[in-house]
Structure 1
């Protein structure tokens, strides 16, 4: 279970697949252990096929549409090096527009028509919530969800699902604790998405500053591209530090709206919407650097002058058609590396069962700033987050890393994963 108390949203009801669809799906239907040993879905002598749902269009596309392209670039790099145990990784990416109904359709296509071995890094809390029951009922490995919802860390209820992000309660607690440590006495407020994302950032912030420690809380909906009322209310409340549980477009919208109002509070942003290079695309090179100067963020993956960043930058140049290199690129390639590590650990003839055993073994290392927390009783990847600051156009860690121990925020020492073997995991 999650390491702390939280309120969980109920998953959307999934319609039962018709008998005709099962027949058409053929070998993509759930198999017995004996059948899977002989022919696991998505695995041939030369390939392993996996898939994802992600917003290539719609309100979350800005920034996020580059994640799956970065993951594919890493897989192309890996495949050119011989793949994993002689198999190349085929990655099917389907656009869901950040719409849960569309997510249900494309995930069924991936499982029933494309016969994928696993779903990797499905993106979004509301979208992935719509398919989590379906994937678990059909015993499809649901790996490294691109969301910090604590729902992904419920191994008894969802044994096939594993998160990737540091969860939102952790991020909210880390940001609020940093605000309290570095700016004691400042008024702290939250602008959050009106779903589990916002709920859990608020929950984490209240762990750090107390239930009455937030001066004002505002919510927004992704369907409404206007946050003037929310920003105006926060300004009127005297907010000095604003913690944002926002997608990248809404991070930019909040900061830009405040600037139009002549208001310059401090911005503390969840990793979901904190990438400097992505935000700069909204503001441009003229206004962006001054608007984003001093922005505080949370993160748990490599950044700055590290071997991992250097490797991923080279992979991006060689395999990603000259796409901009930013934090979302690092995210996508980090996920792809972790899947490759799990696949290598699953053995020369991987099955869904052996893949699950590899993830829960406690032996995966990843490349984050803290050790992975995966195990039989934990389906969370990272239980802590570091603090980043933008200074003169450079975004990097400032040294503070926080984790939750029960309902207490504690400072911990980073333990970054080492780069070995040119980023090619071995079995």
Structure 2
């Protein structure tokens, strides 16, 4: 058995696993999408549409896989990353996912983005028994190993994250009147449940809940409605484009509530800069990743390698963009799992290795945050730390908090 194996993920990068893996196989084992020379990985992402700013995540992953290929691939096999635009439209996601599995014959699906989009294909993918790893959405259902054994999330689930906000507001603003902005979809509903669970007996402090459609051009009217609810706290669970609009509109109408922002929309370049740094000052969110703009990491080896990667493979991109960090972490996690598969590149073994992570630390995760999974735990990351925007950067405060949903 290979125990506590340490694997090279990229140049000078070691990710250590404390897991058991098969001994060196006498013969190589492959499923559709794998061979002696290639591993085919499928992805859908919103390169267009209302979440087009998130498309940079998949572009970062493609660049990371190119770096791995330039370094010799994974156990000698090159990654073929096939990524299609689904415009954050569930019908398009269904079309592109079927194409990836039935026409392109990928070995696995990786980091498909979005809650409603992923929900549109998750039953189909599980029926096909195709690994759907590290989904780029925090839908709590994506960690439900009983219903969807071939699927696995990546980031903290939305309910884990928003419970943290609920507890924070209950403890620090016990009499605060809360207004909530969320999307009218599974993403929004998941967030609301976690927030209310975290508020506990303070749930009555919510005085307004307003939803928006992701196809809408603006959410100006929704912000006006929330302001006139008399709330002193705004919980902003909008996706990037609408989160920026909400921050800017609140300032335009002279509303200065305590502002809690969903972690998905914490990007300085994609959200806070368009909204106006002066408008975003003092916003609170939570994160599990290192912020490249945080001077606390200026001498961090992981940040230096991330920076070198961007310079070489994505020149000109803004290194402070949270979505680049997200894609980098996710790609590194998948490479680690595939390295651990050695010459058994069957779908069953891929899931077995993905379910055996033991506090695996990725270069751009916070020091106290690691990936842990098991056959009964499909929530790899369950720890976050609160942070506040000081007008230029996010400043972390308080301890790393765990919002566990997995079965222990």
In the alignment, which residue of structure 1 is the partner of 2:316?
322
Deviation at 1:366, TM superposition (A): 4.1
Superposed CA offset, 1:312-336 (max 9, x none): 2221110013222211000001000
- Judging changes above 3 Å, is the alpha-carbon distance between structure 1 residues 128 and 312 closer, same or farther for their aligned structure 2 residues? same
Whole-Å separation in 2 of the counterparts to 1:249 and 1:69: 19
Deviation at 1:399, TM superposition (A): 3.1
Matches within 5 A, 1:26-425: 38-62=29-53, 64-210=54-200, 211-283=203-275, 288-303=276-291, 304=294, 305=297, 306-325=300-319, 326-363=321-358, 365-367=360-362, 368-369=365-366, 370-404=369-403
Unaligned runs of 5+ in 1: 1-35, 408-427
Deviation at 1:252, TM superposition (A): 0.7
Whole-Å separation in 1 of the counterparts to 2:106 and 2:220: 44
Aligned residues: 367
In the alignment, which residue of structure 2 is the partner of 1:420?
none
Whole-Å separation in 2 of the counterparts to 1:406 and 1:82: 38
Q: Normalising by the residue count of structure 1, what TM-score does the alignment of the two structures yield?
A: 0.81
Superposed CA offset, 1:277-328 (max 9, x none): 2114524xxxx22011111112222223143333222211100132222110
Deviation at 1:274, TM superposition (A): 1.7
Whole-Å separation in 2 of the counterparts to 1:195 and 1:329: 25
Whole-Å separation in 1 of the counterparts to 2:169 and 2:69: 44
- Judging changes above 3 Å, is the alpha-carbon distance between structure 1 residues 307 and 173 closer, same or farther for their aligned structure 2 residues? farther
Whole-Å separation in 1 of the counterparts to 2:31 and 2:318: 37
Q: Is the 8 A contact 1:276 1:390 kept in 2?
A: no
Deviation at 1:401, TM superposition (A): 2.8
3-state DSSP of counterpart to 1:389: strand
Q: Is the 8 A contact 2:266 2:272 kept in 1?
A: no
Q: Normalising by the residue count of structure 2, what TM-score does the alignment of the two structures yield?
A: 0.85
Root-mean-square deviation (CA), in Å?
A: 2.0
- Judging changes above 3 Å, is the alpha-carbon distance between structure 1 residues 364 and 42 closer, same or farther for their aligned structure 2 residues? farther
Whole-Å separation in 2 of the counterparts to 1:157 and 1:179: 33
In the alignment, which residue of structure 2 is the partner of 1:10?
none
Deviation at 1:229, TM superposition (A): 2.6
Q: Is the 8 A contact 1:119 1:143 kept in 2?
A: yes
Deviation at 1:56, TM superposition (A): 0.1
Whole-Å separation in 2 of the counterparts to 1:240 and 1:94: 42
More deviation, 103-112/253-262: 253-262
3-state DSSP of counterpart to 2:87: coil
The runs of at least 4 consecutive aligned structure 1 residues that moved more than 4 Å come to none
Superposed CA offset, 1:57-113 (max 9, x none): 000112x01101111121122222222211121211100000000001111111111
Whole-Å separation in 2 of the counterparts to 1:110 and 1:281: 36
Q: Is the 8 A contact 1:170 1:383 kept in 2?
A: yes
Deviation at 1:342, TM superposition (A): 0.4
Deviation at 1:208, TM superposition (A): 2.0
Whole-Å separation in 2 of the counterparts to 1:184 and 1:156: 37
